C-alpha cells in the first residue's frame, strides 16, 4: 500500500512538473519587435549625433538643419510618452504616478537644456563651433537616455509595452 501511495505521489509530482514546464511563456513576437524598435531608436540617435559631429563650421547650416530635425523627432517621442502615460493614469498607483511625473520633469529639463545648446550652437563663433557642437551632442544624447523606457517602472507588462512603444515608435515614423 505504501509503495502504491509513493508511486501515485511521484506520478502526480511528475505530471505537475511536466504541466508547469509546458506553461512557460514563450518569447512573444512582440518582444522581438520591441527590441528591434529600441535598436532602431539607438541607431537613429547615434547616427544623428555622428552626422552632426562630422559637420565642419563651413557646413554649419547643414549641421543646424540636421540638429533641428533630430530635435523634432525627439519631441515626437516625448509626445508619445506623454500620451501613453496619460492613457495609463487611472490604472497606476500614486507612487508610480509620482515616479512618472519626476521622469517627465527630468525629460522636460533635458529638453530645455537641448534647446539652449542648440541656440548656443547656432550663435557660436567660428572658433567656438566645435565646442558648441559637442555640447549640443552631449545634451541630445542625455535627452535620448532619459527617454529609455527602463527608466520608468510600469505597473504591469501591458503598461511597459505601451510606454516602450511610445518611446520607440518615432524611429519607425521617419516621415513625420
**Sequence-ordered list of residues with C-beta below 8 angstroms from that of 91, at least 6 positions apart, any chain:** 155, 156, 159
pLDDT of residue 12: 38
**Sequence-ordered list of residues with C-beta below 8 angstroms from that of 79, at least 6 positions apart, any chain:** none
pLDDT in tens, 18-31: 344 444 444 455 66
**Model pTM above 0.85:** no
* Confidence bin at 7 (pLDDT 50/70/90): very low
Domain boundaries, the chain: 29-172
pLDDT of residue 18: 39
Give the DSSP per-residue string, 47-97: HHHHHHHH--GGGHHHHHHHHHHHHHHHHHHHHHHHHHHHHHGGGS-HHHH
pLDDT of residue 80: 86
Average the pLDDT over 50-56 and give the result.
93
pLDDT in tens, 119-173: 999 999 999 999 999 999 999 999 999 887 644 444 445 544 544 554 454 444 4
Q: How many CA atoms lie within 13 A of 175 on its CB side?
A: 0
Question: What are the grid coordinates assigned to 104, written together?
Answer: 517627465
Q: Report CA dihedral (35, 68, 139, 126) to the nearest 10 degrees.
A: 140
Q: CA torsion sign, 175 to 44 to 146 to 34?
A: positive
| pLDDT for residue 176 is more than 70 | no
pLDDT of residue 11: 39
pLDDT of residue 149: 62
Could you tell me which residue, 18 or 41, shows the higher pLDDT? Answer: 41
pLDDT of residue 97: 82
Rounded CA separation 55/74 (Å): 20
Amino acid at each position: 500500500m505504501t509503495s502504491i501511495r509513493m508511486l501515485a505521489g511521484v506520478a502526480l509530482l511528475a505530471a505537475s512538473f511536466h504541466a508547469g514546464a509546458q506553461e512557460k511563456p514563450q518569447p512573444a513576437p512582440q518582444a522581438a519587435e520591441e527590441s528591434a524598435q529600441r535598436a532602431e531608436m539607438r541607431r537613429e540617435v547615434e547616427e544623428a549625433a555622428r552626422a552632426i559631429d562630422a559637420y565642419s563650421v563651413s557646413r554649419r547650416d547643414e549641421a543646424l538643419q540636421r540638429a533641428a530635425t533630430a530635435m523634432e523627432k525627439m519631441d515626437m517621442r516625448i509626445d508619445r510618452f506623454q500620451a501613453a502615460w496619460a492613457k495609463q493614469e487611472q490604472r497606476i498607483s500614486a507612487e508610480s504616478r509620482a515616479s512618472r511625473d519626476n521622469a517627465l520633469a527630468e525629460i522636460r529639463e533635458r529638453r530645455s537644456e537641448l534647446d539652449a545648446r542648440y541656440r548656443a550652437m547656432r550663435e557660436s563663433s567660428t572658433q567656438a563651433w566645435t565646442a558648441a557642437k559637442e555640447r549640443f551632442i552631449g545634451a541630445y544624447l542625455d535627452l535620448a537616455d532619459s527617454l529609455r523606457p527602463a527608466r520608468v517602472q510600469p505597473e504591469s507588462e501591458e503598461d511597459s509595452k505601451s510606454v516602450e512603444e511610445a518611446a520607440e515608435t518615432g524611429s519607425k515614423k521617419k516621415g513625420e
